[in-house]
Amino acid sequence: MMAKKLRSTYEWLEQYLNVQQEIRLLEWNLRRTKLELSRWEDGDLQHVETNEHSKSSHLEETITELQRQIDEDKELLSQLDELVNTFDDTISQIVYLHHCKGMTLEEVAEAVGYSYGQTRKYHAEAIKSMNFLDKFGDVLAINKRSRKASRC
């Protein structure tokens, strides 16, 4: 039960970081695609013949789709921000401010109204819990299921 509670407590962090990473990747792809389009429109490839089946003929559509995906992910990130801001536990706020908003632990301590030492301690405990769950969470869940099955 405790492992499941801890896993769900920090599940939002994994989702948040995954969405941030996806946005960065999509933005990189968008920049790369725009550069490719500019080569076809104004650059060294402007005199090369293309047809409707060539990749270059669909660059504008690709750009539109990438931008749509970025906007969608940014909206999801905004919704995750709103969700985390509803959490009333200090440890989640410390983890959020440090890992999602990029604040130093000193800045986080000031924001949450704790000493730097206490903030560092809470952060270390949270990271230790998350590492434990990453390493042993599935094993704990399997053991729990097997104990329930053996009672039947």
Q: Residue 139 falls within a domain, yes or no?
A: yes
Q: Is residue 83 part of a domain?
A: yes
Residue 51 lies in a domain: no
pLDDT of residue 91: 86
Structural domain containing residue 32: 2-42+59-146
Amino acid at the residue 80: L
* Vertex 50 angle, CA 48 and 52, to 5°: 170
Q: Is residue 97 part of a domain?
A: yes
7 occurs within a structural domain: yes
Residue ranges in the chain modelled with pLDDT below 70: 1-9, 132-152
Cα(123)–Cα(112) distance, integer angstroms: 12
- The number of domains in the chain is 1
pLDDT score for 6: 45
Confidence at residue 68, expressed as pLDDT on a 0 to 100 scale: 98
Residue 87 has phi, psi (to 5 degrees) of: -70, 135
Q: What is the pLDDT of residue 135?
A: 64
